[in-house]
Amino acid sequence: NAGVTQTPKFQVLKTGQSMTLQCAQDMNHEYMSWYRQDPGMGLRLIHYSVGAGITDQGEVPNGYNVSRSTTEDFPLRLLSAAPSQTSVYFCASSSRYSYNSPLHFGNGTRLTVT
Amino acid sequence: GESVGLHLPTLSVQEGDNSIINCAYSNSASDYFIWYKQESGKGPQFIIDIRSNMDKRQGQRVTVLLNKTVKHLSLQIAATQPGDSAVYFCAELKTSYDKVIFGPGTSLSVIP
């Protein structure tokens, strides 16, 4: 059982480039989310989805787009990368959030924007 | 706005001692709280959770305490082991809102 799979593990971009961070889960979870992790700031919610076709903004959505066309996949798009987007990105999923249904995290994508 | 914060950014304990990691939250409407452990190079892993209608919950070597009066959450680790060295995050949410908010994390270092 793979759980939550994120690709790539590492990525270097130049300012202005675009890219998509991939996230896939095989647990049939309705809920998926993206976080970024910066030193001293913990995990900040970028976007989340409670099911296919439904997405919503988190704490820091600017500069990022998401879509949820299937239950399994929740890609995160950077349309025009900026150095401020240098961070570690984590995708997470769970059953529709409820007690005893915590988030399952992937191992992250480390992104550097130069 | 909503925030979850930790009192101590770093904590060093002797192997075998008990560890206590604290967390303050500001949203009194939050009804579910979770502790996660993050080892270097990995994503956070679930440790233990607690509903707002409880004040204590125990796991294998961990206990979570919730004090809603002062909006405080703590994680107690008994007989701390070197494998417990990691960053620990508390998280809160109001289940109807679907937004899980994390605190900044505490780094726990176990001294052999």
Question: How many CB atoms are located within 10 Å of the residue B104 CB?
Answer: 20
Nearest CA in chain B to A43: B102
Q: Do B46 and A102 touch (CB under 8 A)?
A: yes
Digit-by-digit pLDDT tens for chain B (112 residues) are 344 554 448 899 999 999 999 999 878 888 899 999 999 889 999 999 999 999 999 999 999 999 999 999 999 999 999 999 999 999 998 766 678 888 888 999 999 9
What is the rounded CA–CA span in Å between residue B1 and residue B103?
Answer: 13
- Whether residue A107 and residue B43 make contact (CB cut-off 8 A), yes or no, is yes
Residue written as tokens 């988190």?
A: A58
- pLDDT tens sequence across A20-40: 999 999 999 999 999 999 877
| CA dist., res. B56 & res. B66, Å (int) | 6
CB A25 within 8 A of CB B80: no
As a whole number of angstroms, the longest Cα–Cα distance in chain B is 43
Contact B81, B32 (CB under 8 A): no
